[in-house]
Amino acid sequence: MNRIQQKLQENKKLLSIYFTAGYPSLNDTESIIQDLEKSGVDMIEIGLPFSDPLADGPTIQASSTQALKNGMSTEVLFKQIKDIRKTVSIPLIIMGYFNPMLQYGVEAFCKKCQEIGIDGLIIPDLPVDVYHDEYKSIFETYGLINVFLITPQTSVERINFIDSISNGFIYMVSSASVTGSQSGFGEEQTGYFKRIAEMNLKNPQIIGFGISDNKTFTQATQYAKGAIIGSAFIKYVSNNGIKTISEFTKNIKE
């Protein structure tokens, strides 16, 4: 069983943290991952920076631009984390846009992920149907779980399709927005959380976009298996550096 699937079976609400690899400094990747695990985070999304991150708001854009300036690349990231499984045991997911993977070679990319011990991928601009028709078997060959997004606008029919080809969790985008643009959840969002929870999907849901503190984490995990924090964490390391990461996670979980 894949580490993600194991983790999802634990009887607790999961906290997943996204960070941009190569930010704030090029070589922070390994220690950020290790410190996040030590601080009690359940799952990590390692952001592979892209020059044109369409689905991301200003915070992650800026961190991506800086990471690329620092010298981050697919090759460098793989080198930095090649021994990560010697020290880290929680699920690790790479989140990135499709073009850098396409240039690396989708199969070569997946193979490398398996060698390193990456458990899954999130690729916002690889559409479900293209994945299904062209890449699904490659991902499966290398034991990788591909995670798909749904939004408040996703139709029931499409949610069911996404559920049927997923084998980990569904990434529930909290609202129609790019990353980092929400503050707190209103009735519209909790209504949507409820609606999805009541669909009794095969895959558990983890909510992302707009989770920034204990309040939004608690709100989201009332309806879902877990929640993902990205922009708020990037902001935290921008302001405080990477030495006090445990402070950040402590405040989320309280």
Partner 1 sequence: MNYNVNEKGYYGEFGGAYIPEMLYPNVEELRQNYLKIMAEPSFKEEFNQLLKDYVGRPSPLYFAKRLSKKYNTKIYLKREDLNHTGAHKINNTIGQILMAKRLGKTRIIAETGAGQHGVATATVCALMGLECIVYMGEIDIARQAPNVARMKMLGATVVPALSGSRTLKDATNEAIRDWINNPVDTHYIIGSAIGPHPYPDMVTRFQSVISEEIKWQLKEHEGREKPDYVVACIGGGSNAAGTYYHFLHEVDVKIIAVEAAGLGIDSGESAATSVLGKEGIIHGCKTLLMQTKDGQITEPYSISAGLDYPGVGPMHAHLAKTGRAEFMSITDDDAMKAGLELCKLEGIIPAIESSHALAIFDYKKFKSDDIIVVSLSGRGDKDLNTYINYFKL
Site for partner 1 in 32-51 (CB under 8 A): 50-51
- Here the contacts of 58-65 (C-beta below 8 Å, separation 24 or greater) are 58/180, 59/179, 59/180, 59/230, 59/231, 59/234, 59/235, 60/18, 60/20, 60/179, 60/180, 60/230, 60/231, 60/234, 63/20, 63/23, 63/24, 63/234, 63/238, 64/20, 64/23
Query: Does 163 help bind partner 1 (rule: CB under 8 A)?
Result: no
Among 155, 183, 200, 239, binds partner 1 (CB under 8 A): 155
Query: Does 130 help bind partner 1 (rule: CB under 8 A)?
Result: yes
CB 238 → partner 1: shortest distance, Å? 16
Separation of alpha carbons 147 and 114, rounded Å: 16
Give the active site residues. Answer: 45, 56
Query: Does 70 help bind partner 1 (rule: CB under 8 A)?
Result: no
Give the binding range for partner 1 (CB under 8 A) out of 6-14, 26-34, 170-178, 226-234: 170-178
3-state secondary structure of 107: helix
Among 19, 148, 193, 217, binds partner 1 (CB under 8 A): 148
Sites of contact with partner 1 (CB under 8 A) = 50-58, 61-62, 65, 68, 73-75, 97-104, 124-128, 130, 148-151, 153-155, 158, 173, 176-178, 181
